[in-house]
Amino acid sequence: MPSLSAFGRLTLALAVVAALACSACSAESDRLGESRAPIINGTASSASSLPSVGALVALGPQGWSAFCSGTLISSRMVLTAAHCIANIPAGVTVGFYIGGNDVRVGGQVLAVSARIAHPSYNAAVTPTGLGNYFDIGVLTLAQPFTAIAPSKLVRPAEVKALVKQSATVLIAGFGLTQAGGTVTGKKYEGYTTMVDIGASEVFIIGAQANRPQKCNGDSGGPTFGDLDSGPGLDLRVVGVASRAGTNCTIGSIETRVDSYLPWLHQQGTIPCDSGLSPPCNPTGDIGVADATVDLTRDFGVPPPPDISFPDVPPPPPPPPPPPLKQFGEKCTISSECVTGLCINGYCNHRCGPNLPCPAGWVCHAQALICTVGTTPPPP
């Protein structure tokens, strides 16, 4: 088995996500936290396949671009990886794409009201092997979304059957289809195998030739176990993509969902047919009180350098707004003036007995603005 110390996040920096939204970037979108990519050796998903699997998207100059994957697990909750949402730059608009297999075609983007990383997740810690790194988080949707049924989480009684060595699992994501390839933003899926089981993480293989595996852009995406031994599917989310080996050649490590079921239920009520029960309700709606973000907890620690993929610098800050113009300076609209008044192309102000005009200016008796003659002179 390959050394698990060589694994790094499968995500794309949001600075690149915004750039990839530009019209000519050969770029298609990808994800997995800070690096984006579709399932290697996988199959392109149809529009109706795994409908609850979507993409975390950021708004760029030409539209939405995917940077991570996620799974709808209730009408207002999306399951993803903590590292996908723990270092989002200020001012970046994030949504959840669902209902299609390509972020540029079809589907819809749902508004997100909160991004909640597990409080024990620490982006400064570099994972080594299977461990307990708390790489799990949720998005709270601004409004309930009921057009697509949420995926079911593995129940405690189902763990023994689904989380075990040699178990076949179904993986999905919007990441790269080949190591070093272009970003796609298209949903891919494929079957692979669990190899090593830890208390809070599992290792799924991808090293053999032509075996599907996750890569950049798939972070936060699901790993499904199937309870149906026949031709049908009875899927449960058993894992969340956390990180993968160098160049996406030796498989990936997933956060075990069953290890975090109590925490997930604390973030909002999950449907009765998913995860722990009780508490539960039929739709899994989350109340407004649950839609909170702790900025220190969720965004206070910068992520470590991406082990497998090059680091991307953050975008430059926007230029400061121009200073407001003073009385007598040329203007085009009143909002340019510190006085809030632009008259005849110059910043002016109201005047009266108790508000005299500057030297050289006269208060117009009817208009109550400062003038020299009929038109304010240039400064």
> Do 107 and 200 lie in a common domain?
yes
> Does residue 155 lie in a domain region?
yes
Total domains present in the chain: 2
Domain-embedded: residue 57: yes
Residue 249 lies in a domain: yes
SS3 196: strand
CB atoms within 10 A of CB 113: 16
Same-domain status, 127 and 181: yes
Look at residue 314 and tell me if it is in a domain.
no
Separation of alpha carbons 9 and 244, rounded Å = 6
HEC states along 293-333? CCHHHHHCCCCCCCCCCCCCCCCCCCCCCCCCECCCCECCC
Domain final position from 266, 299, 332: 299
Question: What's the pLDDT at 101?
Answer: 87
Instruction: Judge if 344 and 295 occupy the same domain.
Output: no
Residues in the chain: 379
Do 283 and 325 have their domain in common?
no
Q: Is 312 part of a structural domain of the chain?
A: no
Residues 338 and 231 in one domain: no
Domain closes at, from 269, 299, 329: 299
Question: Looking at residue 242, which CATH number applies to its domain?
Answer: 2.40.10.10
Question: How far, in Å, CA of 29 to CA of 60, rounded?
Answer: 11
* Residue type for position 27: A
Q: What is the pLDDT of residue 246?
A: 61
According to DSSP, the residues that pair with 244 across neighbouring strands are 8, 252
DSSP string, 66-100: EEEEEEEEETTEEEE-HHHHTTPPTT--EEEEESS
125 and 68 in a common domain = yes
Indicate if 357 and 259 belong to the same structural domain.
no
Domain assignment of residue 160, yes or no: yes
Are 40 and 206 contacting, i.e. CB atoms less than 8 angstroms apart?
yes
Relative to beta strand 222-226, strand 235-245 is antiparallel
305 part of a folded domain: no
**Same-domain status, 219 and 364:** no
How many Å from the N-terminal Cα to the C-terminal Cα in the chain? 78
pLDDT computed for residue 106 by the predictor: 85
Q: What is the pLDDT of residue 67?
A: 87
Q: Which of residues 243, 264, 299 is at a domain's end?
A: 299
- Residue 24 in any domain: the answer is yes
- Does residue 271 sit in helix, strand or coil? strand
pTM here is: 0.65
Helix (H, G, I), strand (E, B) or coil at 343: strand
- pLDDT in 10s for each residue of the chain, 379 residues: 444 433 455 554 444 444 333 322 222 223 223 333 334 444 555 566 799 999 999 887 777 888 899 999 999 999 999 999 988 888 889 999 999 988 888 899 999 999 999 999 998 888 877 888 999 999 999 999 999 999 999 988 899 999 999 899 998 988 765 555 555 678 888 888 888 898 898 887 644 545 555 676 788 999 999 998 777 788 999 999 988 766 666 678 899 999 998 888 888 766 665 665 455 544 433 332 222 333 333 333 333 333 333 344 556 777 888 899 998 899 999 989 988 889 888 898 888 888 888 888 888 878 788 887 545 444 4
Q: Which residue segment(s) compose the domain that 347 sits in?
A: 321-379
Q: Are residues 257 and 331 in the same domain?
A: no
Same domain, 357 and 244: no
State the CB neighbour count (10 A cutoff) for residue 263.
Answer: 16
Are both 119 and 200 inside the same structural domain?
yes
Residues 11 and 113 in one domain: yes
